Each structure stands twice: as structure tokens, then as C-alpha cells.
Amino acid sequence: MKQMKQKLPKKTHDYSCEKCNFITANKKDFNRHILTSKHQNETNETVFETKKPQKTQHHNCEKCSKIFKSRTSLWRHNKNCYLQQNNDNDEFLVEYLMNENKELKNMIIEVCKQIQPCNINNSINNHSNNKTFNLQFFLNETCKNAMNIKDFVDSVHLDLADLENVGKSGYIEGISNIIIKNLNALEVEQRPIHCADQKREVIYIKDEDKWEKEEDSKPKMRKLIRQIAHKNICMFKQFREKYPDCDNSESRKNDLFNKIVYESMGGKGDDDNVKYNKIIHKISKQVGIDKFST
């Protein structure tokens, strides 16, 4: 009997998915099953297709050390990074200058505090010098043809009205009015008396063809007052000639004449020096030249 050759069965491997109840002997079918949405939903597994990582070239910024994947990104960054660097430098420079300016400002303030009093003093001195210069120009140039004080006294002519006014107003007011009236009758440039400082009564008098500052005791002004007062007394004769009954004690003119004589001789009250000072003060107020010296 011919012995028949028997085939042995191939050994098989089953691939099963218990979740999906899927069995197959083909591995390819099993792998395909795993990728199906049914299997992934049942098992909550996601199969990712892995790729080999590509090796990338890195580009570094030399200014800030940042890393970029492309040269284009690095180029764009370099422009901004350069500007940022400049901005940082500008901010530093601004802050530095502000601090420097603050210190400089403080120094200037301190220097100004020290200089200010000097400037004020210099300004006062300069103003004073200019004023003195203008005053000298006014006296020696503008008033170079002014009368001498002696000529002024000689030019004063009194009338009975002046005499009677002394009796009515008193010695100080009456003699002051006579002198001031005759000064005002002259042009400013012709007057022999000018007051440069009314508050301090700084008086300049032209005598013997030259201007001189009056001394503190005012000797020339006092002499002027005495001479005018004497001229006033000399008017008594003219008054008596016009009013002969003034010598009659029963006459009203006698009372007037007695008052005139009393006031013309100085009147009552203060001594002569005090009266002279009051007359000089009144005259100074009328012959001030402050406006000409500015």
C-alpha cells in the first residue's frame, strides 16, 4: 500500500482586540484595525505617526544672544535690537544730562545768590555815577550862563506888597516867598541856586562864575536870607513915606506897621538858625533839578 504523504497544518497566530471583539490571523489586518476610529473610540488611544526629527540650524543674535531658526528672522531682529540698544543709550544719556543739569542749576543758583548783592551795589553806584555826571553836565554846560549869587541878590527889587506880606504871613513864609518869587522869575538855566537832592537838601550855588556844592551848614544860603531880610527892612522908609500916619499910635496903619516891623525882625519863636533852616527847606523844594539829572 502506497503510503500517502500527509501535509502538516501551518502554525497560525491569532490577533485579537478584546475591546472591539476583533480576531484575525493577519497582522496587517490587525494593524489596520488599530488605526480605525472604532478602535480608537473604544480604547481612547490615538496613534501618532512619528517622524524623525529634522535637524535645524540655529542663528544667534550677537547683541542679545537670542536664537532664531532662520536668517530672515535674525535679520529682522537685528534691526529692532539695534534700535533698542540705541534707545537704551539715549535713555541713559538723557538721565545723565538731567542729573548734570540739575547740579549745574544748583550751582548757578548759589552763584546768583552771591552775585546779586554785588550787582545791586554796582547798579546803585553806576546810577549814582551817572546821576552825578548828568548833574555836572547840567550845571557846567546847560547852566554855564547862570547868574552868580551876588548878582541875584542885587537884582531883587522889593515893593510894599512884599513888605506887607511879611507882616501878614510872618518872617519865615514872607522871606521865603520873596526869594522863591525872584528865582521863579528867571529861566531855569539862569538861576544861581539848584537843589540836586531835596530829601538831603544838597544845594549847588554859583558863586564867582563857578558852581560849588553848598556846605552842610549852608553858609551861602544863610547869607542870602540875611541880605534879602535886610532889603525888606529897608522898605520901612518907603512904607512910612506912603503912610505917614503909621507913626500915630491912634492910627490903624500904626498897628499894621508895628506888625510888619516885628515880623521883619524875625518874629517870635524859634532862634535864627531854626528859622533859616525852615526857609532853606522851602526854597529847596522849589529849585529841585532831579528831573534834569536823569
Backbone angles phi, psi at 273, to 5 degrees: -60, -45
| Residue extents of the structural domains in the chain | 16-45, 59-142, 144-292
Range in 98-112, 137-151, 234-248 the model is least confident about: 98-112
Position 51 scores a pLDDT of: 45
Residue with more model confidence, 167 or 31: 167
Percentage of residues in the chain having pLDDT higher than 90: 48
> Would you list the DSSP string of 54-68?
PP---EE-TTT--EE
Position 31 scores a pLDDT of: 81
Cell numbers representing residue 277 in the block: 533852616
Distance linking the first and last C-alpha atoms of the chain: 166
Position 80 scores a pLDDT of: 76
Average pLDDT, integer, range 237-261:
93
Q: pLDDT grade, residue 50 (50/70/90)?
A: very low
Position 78 scores a pLDDT of: 77
The identity of residue 269, as a single letter, is: G
Given a cut of 60, is residue 127 above it in pLDDT? no
Position 293 scores a pLDDT of: 47
Position 294 scores a pLDDT of: 45
Q: pLDDT grade, residue 268 (50/70/90)?
A: confident
Position 125 scores a pLDDT of: 56
Which pTM was predicted? 0.56
Per-residue burial over 252-275, b = 16 or more CB atoms within 10 Å of its CB, e = otherwise: ebeebbebbbebbebbeeeeeeeb
Range in 70-74, 153-157, 198-202, 256-260 the model is least confident about: 70-74
Residue with more model confidence, 19 or 178: 178
Contacts for 294 with CB less than 8 Å, ≥ 6 apart: 131, 134
CA separation for the pair 74, 59 (Å, rounded)? 7
Task: Count CB-CB contacts under 10 A for residue 205.
Answer: 21
